[in-house]
Each structure stands twice: as structure tokens, then as C-alpha cells.
Amino acid sequence: MLLAIDIGNTSTEAGVFDGDSLVKTFRIESSFNAEEFDEFLLKNFGNQNFEKIIIASVIKNKDFLLKKFLDKKYNVDSFIVNSDSPLDFSVNLDSPSSLGADRIANVAAAHSLYKYPAAVIDVGTATTFDIIDEKGDFSGGLIMSGLRLQLESLFDKTSKLPLVEIRDINTAMAKNTEDAILAGVVLGHAFAIDGLIKQYEKELNQKLTVILTGGYSNFICKHLSINSYILNPNLTLEGLRIIAYGKN
């Protein structure tokens, strides 16, 4: 059994793989400490033993602290994903070491599972675009504020605007302040994704396979106007599995 752990800015997702099959997934707030994570494992996985553990984290040092705890608990050498991890694709960036572990895992999954050129869009605390070229290599992308981050920023940086919870909205003709904020953030985010896909296809002069993942991917996809996309909420975990089993 493989335990794959994706530590995000807001929440952490853990998945158990039996071979290539994802058999369980669970989520916990990323503010956890070792004791809380131990309780989380016991509650969700019982006395399950793991032959391999792989960790991806966007929070500084959280992966090393978790590795120390898990290595002792399960008597394994947990693998931490970074830019030096063995990959089946090249990372064509100015500074490959700056690429986040979650984005590495997403590209690893898309490279293995889908046709390229492709765009991987992870809609979470931040929304990231990762572009895989026709050769299957990572060729660049972008990072922008996610839905919740935009809502919190409007509340924090203004005097009178309220903090609005994310919910669905289907019109840009808002009649009150809360709906105006939601329309701007939710519909604006969807239109940005649509427009950026068109821009990437223009720059590459090729149609892209579009893959959506992340905590808000299922929410935002209903507002997109692109003709086709693949929704895979477990893409990051799948990428961790691919990296883990590809590591000797």
C-alpha cells in the first residue's frame, strides 16, 4: 500500500493506493501538528501498514516534519517530492528548483494519463496553470489568486466590503453588494480561465487537452465556456503515485 499526501495551503489530502487503484481519500486542515495527524491516520486508516509514503507540500518545512514522524511510525523512508525527483519529463523553466511539488505532481499525472500538449489547471487557494508541450515537457505556466483568496483580499483591504462565502452565481447583473462580489470573483475567475486557454493555444498554435483539478475545480467548471475539459479532482494524488512507483 502507498500513502500519498498532498499538503496544500489550506487543506491536506491523503490518499491510499493499492497498486494503481486509489481506494481511499481523506482531507484535513493543513494547520495540523504531528499528534493531530496521528489521530487523523488512526481514524481514517486504522492500523493500515504502508510500504511507501510520498509527500508533496507547498508549506515550508511541513513535509520534513511530517516525514520525520511518519518514518518513525511506519518504519519507512518517506519520499519528499521536489525539483530533483526522478521525472519522465523535462522542466523548461528559468529556475526549475522553484517549481512547487504540487505542480510537479500535477504535470507527472497529466503527462502519464492524458494526451498532450495539455494545460493543467489547479483551482485551489491559488489557481495555477501548467503547460505541457507537444513533446511532453513542462514548458511554463502561471499563478493567480484563487477564489477564496480574492474574497478574503476584498474584505481585508477595503473598509466596507463584507467577507462573502463562496457560492454559485449565474448572473453578472448583481443587484446587491454580496452578489456583486461573487459575480466579480466567480464569473471573473471562469472568464479568466477561458481567456487564458485561448491565449496559450494562440501562443502554441495548437489545441490543448485541458485538465481541471483542485478543491474548487468542480465548482468553477460549470461556468466555463471552453468546448471540452477533463475533470480529475484526484490528479495531484495520481501524480504522487506515478512519481512514487517510478522511483527506484
What grid cell was written down for 211? 485538465
**Ordered DSSP codes for 14-47:** EEEEETTEEEEEEEEETT--HHHHHHHHHHHHTT
- The CA distance from 78 to 68, in Å, is 8
User: Is residue 194 annotated as part of the catalytic site, yes or no?
Assistant: no
- Rounded to whole angstroms, the Cα distance separating 24 from 228 reads 28
Kindly tell me the sign of the dihedral angle through the C-alpha atoms of 41, 43, 49, 54: negative
Range 159-166, long-range pairs (CB < 8 A, 24+ positions): 166/216, 166/219
One of 63, 84, 94, 102 is an active-site residue; which one?
102
Cβ proximity of 124 and 9 under 8 Å? yes
d(C-alpha 228, C-alpha 21), whole Å: 26
Rounded to whole angstroms, the Cα distance separating 228 from 52 reads 36
Q: How many CB atoms are closer than 10 A to CB 131?
A: 22
Widest CA span in the chain: 59
Catalytic residues: 102
